[in-house]
Amino acid sequence: MIIFMGVAGAGKSVQGKLLADTLALPWLSTGEFLRMLISGEQRKEMLSGKLLDDQQIIALVRKIFSVVDTDHEFVLDGFPRSTPQADWLLGEVRYGQLQVSAVIHLLASEDAVTRRLMERGRQDDTEASIRERFQEFEESIKPILEQFRTSNIPVCDIDAEQTPQEVHQSIIEALEKIRVHEG
């Protein structure tokens, strides 16, 4: 699997879909699945910017993985978002249940993501929730990226403030370098 990580608004969904289309791979977005499957009080909390707990997210990801052939490459967007989620995923990798080809880490400034998120106009995109997600990214996602690096999973840092086509080209080039090193 190729995992997309980055702060909300960095372009994970846009780039994940584009890469999946370019490589003819399934694109799995935990955010899209959450918006489809979560209802009631959990949905209200999610719309206010709160994250579900790790066990709820891992259960959802297990469901997602049950409908896709994980023996073949696919693009995953929005998971893991906490150290326990990363621990679970890395455990699955260690036991041969899953394989991570690369992590695409999209880098964007707080100003850039605030501008992008305010433009997309989703209900859960308020300036306060965006600031909170940026802080959550700094505290939660950066340690996960380090976990991947120390587990010898290639992490590709990509400048997400370029045009969408330039970001896509940077991702393709980074993946080609990884394949050259593996081959």
Cis peptide before 143 (omega within 30 of 0): no
pLDDT of residue 91: 97
In the predicted model, what is the mean pLDDT of residues 177-183? 83
pLDDT of residue 50: 67
Kindly tell me if the per-residue pLDDT of 42 is higher than 90.
no
Question: Are residues 75 and 20 in contact, defined by beta-carbon separation less than 8 angstroms?
Answer: yes
How do residues 62-105 score in pLDDT, each as one tens digit?
Answer: 988 988 899 999 999 989 989 999 999 999 999 999 999 999 99
The DSSP call for residue 153 is: -
Kindly tell me if the per-residue pLDDT of 28 is higher than 80.
yes
In the predicted model, what is the mean pLDDT of residues 139-144? 92
Residue 124 and residue 3: Cα distance in Å, rounded?
23
Rounded to the nearest 10 degrees, what angle do helices 83-94 and 54-66 cross at? 40
pLDDT of residue 145: 96
Distance between terminal CA atoms of the chain? Answer: 17
Domains, the chain, ordered by start: 2-178 (3.40.50.300)
Q: Which structure tokens are listed for 172? A: 């393709």
Residue 39 and residue 16: Cα distance in Å, rounded?
25
Q: Percent of the chain at pLDDT above 70?
A: 96
pTM of the model: 0.89
pLDDT of residue 183: 65
